[in-house]
Amino acid sequence: MNHFTLQLGDWQFRAEDENEWLPAQVPGCVHTDLLRSGRIPDPFYGTNEKEIQWVDKKNWIYRTSFQLEEQQLSPQRIELVFDGLDTYADVSLNGEQILAADNMFRIWKVDAKPYLQKGANELVILFRSPIQEDLPKLEQLGYQLPATNDQSEVGGLGDKKVSIFARKAPYHYGWDWGPRFVTSGVWREARLEGRSGVQITDLFIRQDSVTAASAELTAIAEVAADAAGEAELKVSADGLEWTKVVQLQAGVQEVEVALRIEEPRLWWSRGLGEAHLYQFRAELQTGSSTSLFERTTGLRSARLIRQKDQAGASFYIELNGVPVFAKGANHIPNDSFTTEVTRERYRHEIASAAEANMNMLRVWGGGIYEEDDFYELCDEYGIMVWQDFMFACSMYPGDETFLNNVRAEAADNVRRLRNHPSIVLWCGNNEIDSAWAHYIENGGWGWKRDFTAEQRETIWADYQAVFHEILPKAVEQHAPGADYWPSSPLVSLSENAEQHAHPSTAEGDIHYWGVWHAVEPFENYNLHVGRFMSEYGFQSFPEYKSVRTYAEEEDMELLSDVMRAHQKNGEGNRLIREYMKMYLPEPKDFPAFLYMSQVLQAEAMKMAIEAHRRNKPHCMGTLYWQMNDCWPVASWAGMDYYGRWKALQYTAKRSFQDISVSIDGSSSGSVRIHVMNDTLTELNGILRLQVTGYDGKIKQETAYPVQSPANSAILVTVVQDDELLNGARPQEIVLTASLEAEGGVLDRKEHYMVPAKEMELPVPQLSLRPVEGSGGTRYEVTTDLLARQVWVSSEQEGYFSDNFFDLLPGEVKILEFKARSNGDQPFVPADPGPLVITSMADYIAASAASV
């Protein structure tokens, strides 16, 4: 037997200070294993989070046994491979310690052959408490490094924040949208790998130059050989084949073959073309033995373009020579317990992003380097990925052990992910440069004031070692040609006060949080438009059905213990209510408050997204915070923990359309109507403006010719409010702007002359009828009076082609329901079963009762 792989299963676990062994799942973690054994309550329910903080203070032991036949011991080398150990782990094989792991994000390989035996073998892993492991490091350092989102008080540690010492998912220690569950366990695959002779162990398709005319590539195969000798390396793809005779040395080495593909089928992001993927097959032949290795990738050129201009400097991704306006959101882990995330859950998220007309997700730096499934699906759906390294909102130590650990972590993850065409940018960290603001004495988040001048210089030097030296070198070495951005947000590495981003910078990327944290009005989204808006957001609650999974009826009150436990941003519930009073009618009860919170969030994000898109090409990216949730909670997510689309997800789908109309009413006394065209084709059409009463009667109508160049945003017309009103009361009319081309309506938007709370909304009679012949998958919606934020809800999991939309009398809205599926397609047309249809008028309080 020259080669074999043995997946390790049948695991057990126990606390180190207990004797009873319990069944364990690998991949998994101690919290999910305890839950399955009935030893802890549901961590997400009620206020249970605080009841299970004891788990991370204990050491945990995992073990498994396996049988080996004589022939399985014959390979020259047998390695024990862990794709992920969380985090401080002592690994023993047949009573001998063979590995001490200290990084959740690294791949650990150790020579196991000397310790293996015929017959029964036992593997034992001691996971040391990350809390007990790191508290002495804090004491030794002598001062507390900033770690804003480390919820040490929830964990019973007071102000002792130890998250920064562990190379472990930062969000495990809590965040302002997530709970504190500091896990331990074998969180990725564990296996034995045996080999003899020659074997390909990795394949990198380096893209040296890719154009529509040709792709110049280099296939770099990592080869492990027991002895020196001659071999033939053959690489094939798409019916093409390249061969090279290579001289191998004993040990691990890289061998290269130059590849050229004429007129390649390029990989494009969603909306610009096909996300075509090539499968490359490498075959290494020596005498009578052959080693095979396959790798899938897409061929594309992706560059971060930062060019000086009159305003400052550009910041955008150029894909295959085309400037791409990035539309999407920030991604966090889909679960507090990452091993609970199935491929179907990943596919639901990525497919939902594509359905919502997104073309980019940012893998945020406080979570994990995601599973292969995530990136494979982004490759497939044409979703570009902005990939952070896993550092966020904290300052980190800079001792040699820590830096060497980061160096190895970066190499492992860049090598693992470098073949994915979806990854178009690597970024060092989330918000640390702007939070520390080294070159502005009283800038940033106030962190520096807690340290002496000498300490500041040490902390900053440690920062620079990681983010300005180790990480960019890792990208350059292991993914040559890929772009690296040191921190988000950042202006540039100027090493002066101009380096740190703020809402008015005209270079780099921006996180704008004046709306929300600073309680600025939504209208300020129109004022703070940078070159690339990589974070901004507004919170809402999940829908009632989701809230009831963690709360009982008696908890349905904003200040209840459960509602506060499921609101991790301290002022969050107050801010939602405060903004609601600014913009929306008062909800009649708590379920109505949940609905209104989603409408409020959607209105805020619509204003932001469209302000960013109207300012193309000055602004070339808009990624709202955030795409998803890691548990059921009130948060900034557009999809809740269960994958249910909030109002924001539907609004994003409309506002992210490749060809889109936007009505800007931010200028006093007038409205400006824009058309955005993100396609690569010129558009010729008609913009039709109608002023309509709430009864559907058209008061006036105007049409304008539209010639929209490819990949552009244009201002079509400016109309004065007085012209639109023409004597009518602003509380009684709606302006609609429809973009028509080739006999159809490409997009339509509504604009109201007063905020929703000042509108005199009628109570409409909505009609919902199945479309004949659709098998119950499509429905026709009509109304007798203006209906705002129409919500059609079903018991079956899935989504409608549109939802949370406005409807006028005389209009017919056709909705198609697609059910969430475990089959080949993520969503399939289906009969949703019983439906409930409501509009904003159904949720408004009759009197000024308190929520």
pLDDT score of 287 more than 90:
no
pLDDT score of 564 more than 70:
yes
Read off the pLDDT band of 849 (50, 70, 90): very low
Residue 737 inside a domain? The answer is no
- Give the 3-state DSSP-derived string for 452-508, with helices as H, strands as E and coil as C: CHHHHHHHHHHHHHHHHHHHHHHHHHHCCCCCEECCECECCCCCCHHHCCCCCCCCC
* Residue of 391, 427, 599, 405 whose CA lies nearest to 508: 427
> DSSP of 178-222, one letter per residue?
S-B----EE-S-EEEEEE-SEEEEEEEEEEEEE-SSEEEEEEEEE
Q: What is the tens place of the pLDDT at every residue in 659-695? A: 999 999 988 889 999 999 999 999 999 999 999 999 9
CATH number at residue 793: 2.60.40.10
- Which of 248, 279, 297 is the C-terminal boundary of a domain? 297
| Contact call for residues 560 and 593 (beta carbons, < 8 A) | no
Residues 281 and 422 in one domain: no
Q: What is the tens place of the pLDDT at every residue in 324-371? A: 999 999 999 999 999 999 999 999 999 999 999 999 999 999 999 999
| Contact call for residues 364 and 637 (beta carbons, < 8 A) | no
Q: Angle at the Cα of 212 (from 206 to 218), degrees rounded to 5?
A: 15
Read off the pLDDT band of 446 (50, 70, 90): very high
What are the beta bridge partners of residue 362? 330, 386
Determine how many CB atoms are found less than 10 A away from the CB of residue 664: 18
**Which two tokens mark 545?**
């059905």
Domain range for 783 is 761-851
Q: How many domains does the chain have?
A: 4
Q: What is the mean pLDDT of residues 535-563?
A: 96
SS3 709: coil
Read off the pLDDT band of 847 (50, 70, 90): low
- Give the 3-state DSSP-derived string for 319-370, with helices as H, strands as E and coil as C: ECCEEECEEEEEECCCCCCHHHCCHHHHHHHHHHHHHCCCCEEEECCCCCCC
Entry pTM:
0.96
Residue 713 inside a domain? The answer is no
Read off the pLDDT band of 185 (50, 70, 90): very high
pLDDT of residue 829: 93
Determine how many CB atoms are found less than 10 A away from the CB of residue 288: 6
Mean pLDDT of the chain: 96
CATH number at residue 145: 2.60.120.260
Residue 482 inside a domain? The answer is yes
Q: Cα–Cα distance between 774 and 181 in angstroms, integer?
A: 46
Residues 314 and 259 in one domain: no
* Residue of 477, 392, 399 whose CA lies nearest to 428: 392
Q: Cα–Cα distance between 155 and 160 in angstroms, integer?
A: 10
Residues 285 and 357 in one domain: no
pLDDT of residue 639: 98
CB-facing half-sphere around the CA of 210: CA atoms within 13 A? 24
Q: Cα–Cα distance between 695 and 761 in angstroms, integer?
A: 11
Residue 734 inside a domain? The answer is no
Residues 78 and 219 in one domain: no
Q: Is the peptide bond before 41 cis (omega within 30 degrees of 0)?
A: no
Residues 400 and 461 in one domain: yes
Read off the pLDDT band of 851 (50, 70, 90): very low
* Residue of 410, 217, 396, 187 whose CA lies nearest to 297: 217
Q: What is the mean pLDDT of residues 704-716?
A: 97
Distances (CA, A) of 452 to 28, 45, 362: 43, 44, 35
Q: Which of 252-266, 424-438, 534-548, 836-850 has the lowest mean pLDDT?
A: 836-850
Residues 22 and 42 in one domain: yes
Count Cβ neighbours within 10 Å for each residue of 294-305 and write b for 16 or more, e otherwise: ebbbbbbbbbbe
Residue 73 inside a domain? The answer is yes
| Contact call for residues 737 and 749 (beta carbons, < 8 A) | yes
pLDDT of residue 848: 35
Q: Where are the beta strands (DSSP E) in 36-84?
A: 60-68, 77-82
| Contact call for residues 553 and 659 (beta carbons, < 8 A) | no
Distances (CA, A) of 484 to 407, 424, 605, 648: 15, 9, 28, 31
Q: Cα–Cα distance between 31 and 52 in angstroms, integer?
A: 9
Residue 804 inside a domain? The answer is yes
**Residue with the larger pLDDT of the pair 504 and 564:** 564
End-to-end CA distance of the chain: 70
Residues 493 and 397 in one domain: yes
Residue 226 inside a domain? The answer is yes
- Which of 594, 626, 655 is the C-terminal boundary of a domain? 655
Residue 614, phi then psi, degrees to nearest 5: -65, -25
Residues 274 and 337 in one domain: no
Read off the pLDDT band of 850 (50, 70, 90): very low
* Residue of 24, 1, 256, 246 whose CA lies nearest to 123: 24
- Which of 297, 332, 367 is the C-terminal boundary of a domain? 297
Q: Cα–Cα distance between 410 and 112 in angstroms, integer?
A: 25
Residues 522 and 404 in one domain: yes
Q: What is the mean pLDDT of residues 553-561?
A: 94
Residues 288 and 407 in one domain: no
Residues 460 and 311 in one domain: yes
**Which two tokens mark 764?**
């409409």
pLDDT of residue 331: 98
Residue 242 inside a domain? The answer is yes
Residues 359 and 316 in one domain: yes
pLDDT score of 822 more than 90:
no
Percent over 90 (pLDDT), the chain: 95
Residues 6+ apart with CB under 8 A from 401: none
pLDDT score of 764 more than 60:
yes
